[in-house]
Amino acid sequence: MIHLDYVTILYVGAIGLLAIGAAGLVICNNFFRILLALVVLEAGANLLLVLMGYRGDAKAPILGFGPDGAQMVDPIPQTLVLTAIVIGVAVQALAVSILVRVFRSYGTLDIRELKARFEHDIAVEMGIEPPRGGEAPAGGRIQSSGPPNFRPPESHS
Amino acid sequence: MNGVVLPVVLPLLAAFLMQPLAHKSGVTARLLGPLVLAIGLAMLVQTWHLAQTDPFTVTFGGFAPPLGIVFYVDRLALIFAIAAQLFTLLLWGWSMDAQFDGEKKAREDALMLLLAASATGLALSGDLFNVYVFYELMAVSSFGLVVLKDTGPAQIATLRYLLISAFGSVIALLGIAFLYAQTGTLNLAQLGELAPKALHGPAGLAAFAFMLIGFGVKAELFPVNTWVPEVYAVAPARIAGLLAGLISKLAALVVLRLLVVVYQDTPAPQLLLVLGTLTVLVGDFSAWRSKDFPRMISYSSIAQLGLVFIGFSIPGPLGVLAGLSVALHHLLIKSGMFMLATRWSGSLDRLAGCAKSAPVATGLYLLFALSLVGVPPMPGFWAKLLIMTGLAQEGSVVYLVALGVVLLGSIVKVHYLFRFALKLYGRADLPPVRHSLMELGPAALIGIAIIAATIFTVPIGERLRAVAEQAADRDAYISTVFPDHKTAAVSEDRR
Amino acid sequence: MLEWIASLIVITVLTSAVAVLTVQNMVGAVAAASVVSLGVSVVFVLMHAPDVAMTEAAVGAGLSGVVMALGLRKLGLWRLEDDKGSAHALEPTPRPETDADA
Amino acid sequence: MRRFAALLFAGGLGFVLLVIVTQLNLGQTPMIVGQEMLNVAGAQVGAANIVTSVLLAYRGFDTLGELSVLFAAATVIGLVLGHRRSNAAVDPDGGFVLQAGADLLFPLLLVVGCNIILYGHLTPGGGFQGGVILAAAFFVGVLGRPSTGLDHSVIEVIEGFAGSAFIAVGLWALFAEGEFLMPMLDPGTVGDLISAGTLPLLSLALGLKVGSELAGLMTSLANTEAGDP
């Protein structure tokens, strides 16, 4: 570990990405930025996985490519990462589309404000006293009466 | 025997074809889902006899286990696979609305089918990454089902749920990566074989902790369960029932498999015990404080999941039996409770006096509550008794603390469940709420099942004991997947 | 030699990752996220994983960036100049003429 | 305070990961199953690209699950955003440069995508990567002329049947040979275009499915309700 070879450097990079992504998930208030932090986190995890299948003196796992009989790198982590990348982007696209709807209904992306509005709306719907404190918005259920300047969400049918 | 893949594959096929079919013929599309699930159910029930004595494996693509993916079919897996198909069918959205939207319905049906397929696959799979893929499929389709109601709060709850889930998936993937880096395999049986040498060190246990947090998101485990009350309060009640009843149990099943096959005789169960105990505490006290029916039962579901994990952390067949019986009991009760919540979605105060207007629903609630609390002849009592004897037998301090917490949780549970029951019998000052037949039907079926389980406690207990003994047998798992143990020799040479 | 390339990429990637969290402008943050993916895909090439590198470049840097940019456009945050509190902007913004491909 | 807690959390995670990684054998991790696959994949599956053989043969079932995840996400996005109303305003068509560029790029991307899919078992690439490029080709077309749009029912049909084709190949093997997704037909010689049995078929189904899924996903994100903020 003292000798700083490039694999070690790359491992540090992967762990750095994971740490930065995790910090972003906790620190950020803007939902969109949290999604971007998730992208960074996933990139770090994928990098770490591929690094685990790497060996120094090996070639890409394709037959008839590079010197014959040479050791090849482990194909399984690569397959796993392929799968993980596609799953990750599917989830991100899903999150973006829900985010668009939330922004249209509430006009904000701030996670704390959304949480407060959520508690308030739920309390109204359930018929219990809305939680005090925070900025409980006037206007009641957003679905029926949106904030000024904002159209209520379309019903799609 | 290889037909066991069909209950996983056919719903996927039906889901892919659902939308084109809905354009051609709406009626066929609406009938397709239940039909496919019924076929899958029938096939799985038939398989039960095959797995009666010995578990067996199903390989894919003709590749022997460590190379290819493998399904491990024992009775534990079959119970949950059958439950997956049965409960999706039971809680199917039989839309009777006048303004019926065929396209939306087709999408919803497709998502339900994907959920059933992924749950079945998760129960049967014997390959860690395959488990991860099915877990993700389960997560994504559940997002869609939660946001089905199309209200602002539902969207916010889904978004928060999605973020926690995505974080959990990354953590679980890291755990899987660490396991792979230490053993070079993803097959659970081979992991079990290599575990005593490779995985029982600190790095191996860290991998377990990562996977526990990752899979714990769906299993409502303590630090990552903040989504539970939000989502269950806004999701359609039958979806909440499905998530709380079925999906959480499947995630717990993954943890159980890891614990039994890979992490036997390690400190891993203690970690599970601590988290499970905290989960019970958090769940029961939050339920006690909550003021509306859906959130009360969702917090109570967290507490029950904590009990399941406490059960699983007791080593040996007794622990598996205890956790399994709590899990199955809760699967029934909570699905029924959430079916009641379709109409009882308001605050506890608003439901006062429902005993007069809705006697059947109130009766069912009382039945469920009695069993949940653990009044002696009911099945809930036996499940809780098993956990307590198991904890008492272990005897070390951590287990005794957990025992105390379980007792404390029970007392709190009695208080909040019957406080609500008293309210139901109180004075009515609001117009009565009535359930429709479609909502009460499944709940009534579950009620009948509970009564039947009370009457036939002894034979059911015997069966479950056999299931638990089969499931807790690590060597049987390994020798079923690798009959000739050749791979063990190969891996010995390589090291 | 390889050490230097690796350190260069790692520094670039980590800097852009920090930029994702700190840049005020959302468009800039999306672009930084794409740079992270691109850097990671270069590392995949070094790791003899051409398939993964291709996928990460196409999906992570391309598709994911486009999806995020489209989302930004729909959120009305698609503007290139800095302005604070853009997350709270309620008024509809003038629609951009060019389409959103990052 | 919150920032401090977050930094502590992230730093802790990073530290834990570092400690775990140092416990592993850097660059020398055991490679049991992977080595076995490298040894036998050429003869068993007949594809030169071993990652493709793992993806479609050894772990073909994972790939099916992953397709389903993508399908589920596309379904939910359709559910959340809904379809474009027929009377909704649309973006004006792009300028001359954009349209000409789109017309030029469309066939190019189409050819590249198909090439990547069809040579997936020989060279790097395969169903996923080609599918993404196919989706990009159609999306570029929509960017140039938003008014034409993509017909969602056509996309639905393609994605439905591509997904079913993947499963159908698997079921064919199940009924003919007794195992789901078993490679059928002759593996042929490694390196030929017509080799690796049913693998190219699976790759094609995968590419079409991924392509139609992503194209539908991007267009519904791009133009559901034109005229909104």
For residue B290, what pLDDT is reported?
Answer: 84
Domain residue limits at A98: 6-61+73-109
Chain D residues in contact with B59 by the CB 8 A cut-off are 179
Chain A interface includes C10 (CB < 8 A):
yes
> What is the pLDDT at residue D147?
67
Q: SS3 of D39, please?
A: helix
Contacts B19 to D, Cβ<8 Å: 156, 160
> How far is A142 from B8, CA to CA, in rounded Å?
40
**Mutation choice for C interface testing from D31, D99, D221 by most C CBs within 10 A:** D221
The stretches in chain C having pLDDT less than 70 are 80-102
What span, in angstroms and rounded, lies between the C-alpha atoms of D105 and D142?
12
Cβ partners under 8 Å of residue B418, min gap 6: B369, B373
Chains C and B touch (3+ CB pairs under 8 A): no
Contact of A20 with chain D, judged by CB distance below 8 Å, is answered with yes
Most C CBs within 10 Å, among A2, A3, A26, A39, to test the C interface: A39
- Tally A–B CB contacts below 8 A: 115
Q: What pLDDT score was predicted for residue B1?
A: 67
Q: What's the whole-number average pLDDT of chain A?
A: 77
For residue A58, the distance in angstroms to the closest alpha carbon of chain B comes to 17
Handedness of CA A134, A137, A140, A146 (dihedral sign): negative
Q: Does B456 touch chain D (CB under 8 A)?
A: no
pLDDT given at position B85: 92
Domain containing residue C53: 8-76
The secondary structure of chain D in percent helix, strand, coil, rounded to multiples of 5, reads 70, 0, 30
Q: Which residue has 């992503």 as its token pair?
A: D214
In a domain, A144, yes or no: no
Residue A18 CA: distances (Å) to CA of A81, B148, B199, B311, D182: 15, 33, 23, 34, 38
Measured at the CA of D213, the angle between CA B20 and CA B16, to 5 degrees, comes to 40
Rounded distance between C-alpha atoms, residue B181 and residue B63, angstroms:
22
Q: What is the DSSP letter of D187?
A: -
Neighbours of D, requiring at least 3 CB pairs below 8 Å, are A, B, C
Split at pLDDT 50, 70, 90, the class of D187 is low
pLDDT on residue B203? 84
- Paired tokens of C7: 């350190």
Q: Lowest mean pLDDT of A78-87, A104-113, B218-227, D92-101, name the range.
A: D92-101
Q: Which residues of B touch D183 (CB under 8 A)?
A: 61-62
Whether D129 sits inside 8 A of C58 (CB atoms) is yes
Average pLDDT along chain D: 78
Task: Confirm if B177 and A77 have CB atoms less than 8 A apart.
Answer: yes
State which residue of chain C sits closest to A51, comparing Cα positions: C47
Q: What is the pLDDT of residue B131?
A: 94
In a domain, A143, yes or no: no
Is C1 inside a domain boundary? Answer: no
On the question of pLDDT at D26 being above 90, the answer is no
Is the separation of the CB atoms in B168 and A22 below 8 Å?
no
Contact (CB, 8 A) for B411 and B350? no
Please spell the DSSP secondary structure of B53-78, one letter per residue: TS-EEEESTT--TTTS-EEEE-HHHH
- Given a cut of 90, whether residue D82 has pLDDT beyond it is no
Q: What is the CATH number of the domain that holds A50?
A: 1.10.287
- Please state at what angle helix D199-223 crosses helix A75-106, rounded to 10 degrees: 20
A125 touches chain B (CB under 8 A): yes
In DSSP notation, B372-417 reads HHT-TTSHHHHHHHHHHHHHHHH-SHHHHHHHHHHHHHHHHHHHHH
Would the CB atoms of C52 and A82 count as touching at under 8 Å? yes
What is the reported pLDDT for B199? 78
Q: Which two tokens stand for residue B34?
A: 């239940």
A130 against B395, higher pLDDT? B395
Q: What is the DSSP string of B181-225?
A: HHHS--BHHHHHHHHHHHTSSHHHHHHHHHHHHHHHTTTT-GGG-
Q: Which residues in chain B touch residue D164, judged by CB atoms under 8 angstroms apart? A: 13, 16-17
Q: Is the CB of A143 inside 8 Å of chain D's CB atoms? A: no
CB pairs under 8 A between C and D: 57
Judge whether D113 and A134 are in contact, CB under 8 Å: no
Chain B, 186-225: which have a CB under 8 Å from a chain D CB? Answer: 186-187, 190, 198, 201-203, 206-207
Q: Is residue C3, in this structure, part of any structural domain at all?
A: no
Closest CA to B468 of B77, B191, B48, B41: B77
Taking the C-alpha atoms of residue B402 and residue B391, their distance in angstroms, rounded to an integer, is 7
* Whether D29 and B182 lie within 8 Å, measured CB to CB: yes
Tell whether A31 is covered by a domain: yes
pLDDT for the residue numbered D229: 39
Do A55 and A71 contact (CB within 8 A), yes or no?
yes
Q: Quote the CA–CA distance of B342 and B364 in Å, as a whole number.
A: 14
Q: Residue A43 domain-assigned?
A: yes
Greater confidence (D47 vs D70) lies with D70
Angle CA C92–C96–C97, to nearest 5: 140
Q: What's the structural domain count of chain A?
A: 1
Distance (Å) from the C-alpha of residue C3 to the closest C-alpha of chain D?
A: 15
Q: Does A47 touch chain B (CB under 8 A)?
A: no
Chain A hits for C66, Cβ within 8 Å: none
DSSP string, D81-100: H-PPPTT---PPPP-HHHHH
Q: Which two tokens stand for residue D139?
A: 């999306």
Chain A residue at shortest CA distance from C68:
A96
Tell me the pLDDT of chain C averaged across its residues: 77
Q: Which two tokens stand for residue A82?
A: 């392929």
Total-model pTM:
0.90
D7 with A72: Cβ contact below 8 A:
no
User: What gap in Å lies between CA A31 and CA A20, rounded to an integer?
Assistant: 16
Q: Are the beta carbons of B217 and B223 closer than 8 angstroms?
A: no
Nearest chain D alpha carbon to B1 = D178
Q: Where are the domains of chain D?
A: 31-223
Sequential pLDDT tens for chain B (495 residues): 677 888 899 999 999 888 888 888 777 888 888 899 999 999 888 888 877 778 888 888 778 778 888 888 888 899 999 999 999 988 887 765 545 667 788 888 899 999 999 999 999 998 999 999 999 999 999 999 998 877 888 889 999 999 999 999 999 999 999 888 888 888 888 888 888 887 778 888 888 999 999 999 988 888 888 888 888 888 888 888 889 889 999 999 999 999 988 888 888 888 899 999 999 999 998 888 888 888 888 899 999 999 999 999 988 888 899 999 999 999 998 888 888 887 777 777 777 777 777 778 888 888 888 888 888 888 888 888 888 888 888 878 888 888 899 899 989 988 888 888 888 887 766 666 666 777 788 888 888 988 888 888 888 888 888 888 888 888 888 888 888 764 444 444 443
* pLDDT tens for each residue of A35-85: 999 999 999 999 998 888 887 777 777 776 666 667 788 888 889 999 999
Query: Which pLDDT does position C80 carry in this prediction?
Result: 64
Give me the residue from D33, D57, D66 closest to B133, CB to CB.
Answer: D66
pLDDT the model gives residue A1: 43
The answer to whether A90 and A101 have CB atoms below 8 angstroms apart is: no
Which of C55, C71, C92 lies nearest to residue D128, judging by beta carbons? C55
Cα nearest neighbour of D165 on chain B: B13
Please give the Cα distance from A107 to C77 (Å, whole number). 12
Q: Is residue A141 part of a domain?
A: no
B69 neighbourhood in chain D, CB within 8 Å:
58-59, 61-62
| Nearest chain C Cα distance for residue A132, angstroms | 23
Contacts of D17 in chain A (CB under 8 A): 15, 18-19, 48
Mark yes or no for CB contact D171/B9 under 8 Å. Answer: yes
Distance of alpha carbon B110 from its chain centroid, rounded? 21
% chain A with pLDDT above 70: 75
Number of domains in chain C: 1
Nearest to A10 among C43, C59, C77 (CB): C43
pLDDT of residue A135: 45
Work out the average pLDDT over D153-168: 82
